[in-house]
Amino acid sequence: MKYLLFVCISCFSLSVAASSEWVRAEVVRVDTAKQRIVLKHEPIPSIKMPSMTMRFDVAKEVPLDSYRPGDRVQFQFKEAGGSLDVIAMERLK
Ligand SMILES: [Cu+2]
């Protein structure tokens, strides 16, 4: 029982941290038809993810057609059924 409680609390704090932090990345590929993006992102300590190149589904609110490969960005994400969705993105100077 104590173990279960511990797991639930960690899940909760994980999702809160994940939805509010900004992660820096470089755009690798943009797929506007499927509303997806490939990002080379920095480590994400809150979910113990090292830096890597990976694909994200992107929320409709994010104007994907304004991004190009090579752009430096930062993004926010949420966990969705084992994958990560980008919910906000900004270009860095
Ligand atoms: Cu990753």
pLDDT tens per residue across span 78-87: 988 888 999 9
Half-sphere exposure of 11 (CA within 13 A, CB side): 8
Distance 40 CA to ligand 1 centre (A): 8
Distance 87 CA to ligand 1 centre (A): 15
Token pair 């509010």 is found at 20
Distance 1 CA to ligand 1 centre (A): 32
Answer whether residue 75 shows pLDDT above 50: yes
Distance 47 CA to ligand 1 centre (A): 9
Answer whether residue 26 shows pLDDT above 50: yes
- What single DSSP character describes residue 85? E
Q: What is the CA radius of gyration of the chain?
A: 14
Distance 56 CA to ligand 1 centre (A): 9
Q: What is the pLDDT of residues 32-60, one digit of tens each?
A: 999 999 999 999 998 999 999 999 999 99
Q: What is the mean pLDDT of the chain?
A: 86
Distance CA 27, CA 73 (A): 7
Distance 41 CA to ligand 1 centre (A): 7
Distance 2 CA to ligand 1 centre (A): 31
> Which percentage of the chain shows pLDDT scores above 70?
80
What's the predicted TM-score (pTM) here? 0.78
